Structure formats: C-alpha cells, structure tokens
Chains A and B, each alone.
Chain A
Amino acid sequence: MTATEAVARASRRLRWQIAEVREIVIETPRVRSLLLYVAGWQGHLPGQHVDIRLTAEDGYQAQRSYSIASSPESELLTLTVERVMDGEVSPYLVDELRSGDKFELRGPIGRYFVWTVATRGSLYLVASGSGIVPLMAMLRHREFHKAPVPTGLLYSSRSLEDVIYREELDAMARRDPNLHVFHTLTRKQPDGWVGHRGRIDKYMLVGALVPLVSKPNIFVCGATSFVEHVSSVLVQLGHDAFAIKTERFGPTGG
C-alpha cells in the first residue's frame, strides 16, 4: 500500500502529534521550510494541510494551518512558512525555531484540495506568494512518479528573490518537457527579465494554458483577493467553475 493509498483509506479522528524539527531550509528572505519528523505519521495527499499548535510557558496557545510542501513519498514532512509582518506565529516559526524544537501538529486535513497522479486530465496550477506551497507538494509528487501529465504553473511573486523554490522549479521544468512554468514578478524585475510583469491577467492565464490540450484540473492558491480575481477570470475564459479548486490563505496564517 502506498502512502497515498493509506491516507485515502483512513477515516479517523484527528489527534495532536509531536513534530520535531530536523532541518530548516532558507527559501527566501521571508520564507523557511521546516523539515519535520512526526512519529507515526500516516501519510498525506498532495495539497493537504496540517494544523499546528504552539504553547507558551504561561499556557497560552496559538493554532494555525499550514499546507504540506512535501510529497507523500518524502521521508520527512515539510511545511513552508512565510513570515507575516506582525504575525503571531509565523515570525516564531521563521525566526526562532531551531533544529530539535518540537511543537504539536495534527493532520493531514482536507481531501478537497488534492491532486494525485491517479487523477485524469492535465494540471493547471496558479499561485501567488506562499500559495505555491500545496501546489509544490503536487509537483514533487508528480515528479517522483515521473507522471507525463501536461502541467502548467503560473506563479506570481513580488520579485525574483521572493520566488519560493525557484531553482527547484527551474530544474523540474528543464528536466520535463510536459511541465511549463511561467513566472510573473509584480513589484520588481531584474535587468533582462523576459518573464511576465505585474499582476496576473487574462493574457497570462491564457498563455500558461496553451500547452495544456485537454480541459485541465485547475488549482488556485494564494490570498483571497488573488484567488477571487483569478477564479473569476478563468470562469470568464470559459472554464467550468466546478473544475477550479481554490485555497484561500486567509488571516489565520499570520
């Protein structure tokens, strides 16, 4: 039974488990990936998230949800966290957390926003900022299985240094003729930049769809305003609203 099969069959109560930080990867100035060991972890599906809970010495607790960045085939569970200014939890996770630290975690949660290589059809992913995280789990899973699924990713970031997983995405795209990655930089573009500029618009969405011949499974992830905008444009372009799955990263991510 594969990791994904295990999760698909499980229907059990969520319980809090202990996550131990094994490694911290600096993705961008604001973003860290936390590689976690969770004893007894039952596996997950690409796109799912976890709840984490932190407890201060005086007993105060804070809880947040984070998408799982790692594919189900990875040994360690990866969460990628962006530091939100004045956030309560993310600055702790990004700036304070060290290898060996522990916190509570439960999951995986949410089978709605999920894609696996068993899903038929092409794959269209649209993300802004840390919205790339659950989509990265899907891409890593796709790569692990060398699935020849026609896939497009349109990824919006503020500047080149803010592009999370930049080298990994470039390398994936180089290795795989079926994967097409398009970037847009909204605030600052380096000299000689040939990618898109500015907020995602109809033309960028259409352009990134071109390589996908069949009607795609669409996943959109990012801040609510971004997700609403992209979804409505995709619907205007004629895509079935039911084929568009969205995950809005709201205020609970701070």
Chain B
Amino acid sequence: MAENISDLVLDGNAAAGCLHEIFASDITIAQIQCDACSSTRPVGSLRLYAAPMGAVLRCRHCDGVMMRAVNTPYGRWLEMSGTRCLRF
C-alpha cells in the first residue's frame, strides 16, 4: 500500500476489473459526463481513489465525485449521482 502521497491516485482504467463486475462489461471506454462541470471524458481517464475499499472516480476537471462502486459479498453497489450521463 502507498506511503507516498502521490502514489495514491490511479487512473480509471485501474477500476476496470471492479467496474466490470458491476456492469458485466468494460465501461472504461464509455464516455462519461460530469454533472457538476459538464466535462466529458472516457471512464478510463478519470482519477481513481480508494481502490482497495471500492472505486471512487473523480472528474479530471473539477475533482467532483462522479461514480462510486463497491463489490461486497452481499451484492454490488453503484452510486452515480455525480454523473449526468454515461454513453456506452
């Protein structure tokens, strides 16, 4: 695990496995639009935090949380209130 502050953040494509479990497909090449600032990018290019606990994907432009995903033994959780839309 990271001691180095700058090594905490990953790219969205590192969440591909976790997201694949939730979406049953690879969404890292889907275009995602931030609800806060309207910028649109591929999911794989977002900043990924908190990788061991779940995926917290943040907008590259405004750092807002766009998507959060957690895989638990009881089910998969997905929260996307920070996303205006996702285009597959």
Direct contact of A and B (CB under 8 A): yes
Q: For chain A, what secondary structure do more than half of its interface residues adopt (helix, strand, loop), or is it mixed? A: mixed
Known contacts A250-B51, A252-B51, A254-B1; decide if A110 and B9 are in contact (CB<8 Å). no
- Residues 1-41 of B, flagged 1 when their CB comes within 8 A of A and 0 if not, give 11010111111111011001100111011000000000001
Contact of B52 with A by CB under 8 A: yes
Contact of B43 with A by CB under 8 A: yes
Expressed in whole angstroms, the Cα–Cα distance for A12 and B8 within the complex equals 30
Contact B13 A224, beta carbon cutoff 8 Å: no
Contact of A251 among B8, B29, B41 (CB under 8 A): B8
Known contacts A242-B41, A250-B51; decide if A65 and B9 are in contact (CB<8 Å). no
Nearest 8 pairs of A and B residues by beta carbon:
A112-B44, A251-B2, A110-B16, A112-B28, A225-B6, A112-B13, A11-B25, A250-B10
- Total interface residues on A, using CB and 8 Å? 27
Contact-size category for B: 20 to 34
> What is the interface of chain A, defined by CB distance below 8 A to chain B?
11-14, 49, 51, 65, 106-107, 109-113, 223-225, 228, 242, 245-248, 250-252, 254
Known contacts A112-B42, A112-B44; decide if A247 and B13 are in contact (CB<8 Å). yes
Contact A14 B20, beta carbon cutoff 8 Å: yes
CB distance from B5 to the nearest CB of A (A): 9
A-B contact pairs, 25 of them (CB 8 A): A11-B25, A11-B26, A14-B20, A106-B17, A107-B17, A109-B16, A110-B13, A110-B17, A111-B44, A112-B12, A112-B43, A223-B7, A224-B9, A224-B10, A225-B6, A247-B11, A250-B2, A250-B8, A250-B9, A250-B51, A251-B1, A251-B2, A252-B51, A252-B52, A254-B1
